[in-house]
Structure 1
């Protein structure tokens, strides 16, 4: 977390946008309700990013989608707890 208490970095970035997927990693997209802005994206990304094995998180408030790349499949309840901690609601995995 940035020193000013915000989830955003001093440069104004509010989420990790890594897109480099390593061989053997799993990418899962979740639907999250309540996100409305970059701050929301950052809060959700920060909490999910703390889950063991997560290598990248990309939250998009406009669509309500959060894409998570991890070394192994994540337990949905662990992801739900992280989203709840950020102050939002995990609806579930998004379907294609």
Structure 2
């Protein structure tokens, strides 16, 4: 199960099949993609809680949380301050374990 909060996106890429350029910029959205590790997620409800909190950070355009891997992919207009990500994950009730 995965939870995803996302705005409509174009498809295709200038750099790779996944759309992530070499510097972390996302060619399909014009944003920056970052993958974080979050511990404690066990189900779809957990994924949704984490995605909801991270979506509330200014500039975030999409969030995909996957409980089975503990990975959360965030696309934003600009790089996010780690402390903002940590605080959002904490507010959701889970533990931020850094970048993946």
TM-score (norm 1): 0.78
Aligned to 2:75: 69
Q: Which runs of 5+ in 2 are unaligned?
A: 10-27
In structure 1, the residue matched to 2:15 is: none
Superposition pairs of residues 7-86 of structure 1, within 5 angstroms: 14-16=3-5, 20=9, 21-23=28-30, 25-86=31-92
How many residues are paired up?
81
Which structure carries more strand by proportion?
Answer: 2
**TM-score of the superposition, structure 2-length normalised?**
0.75
The answer (yes or no) to whether the contact 1:18–1:58 under 8 Å persists in 2 is: no
- In 2, Cα distance between equivalents of 1:49 and 1:36: 20
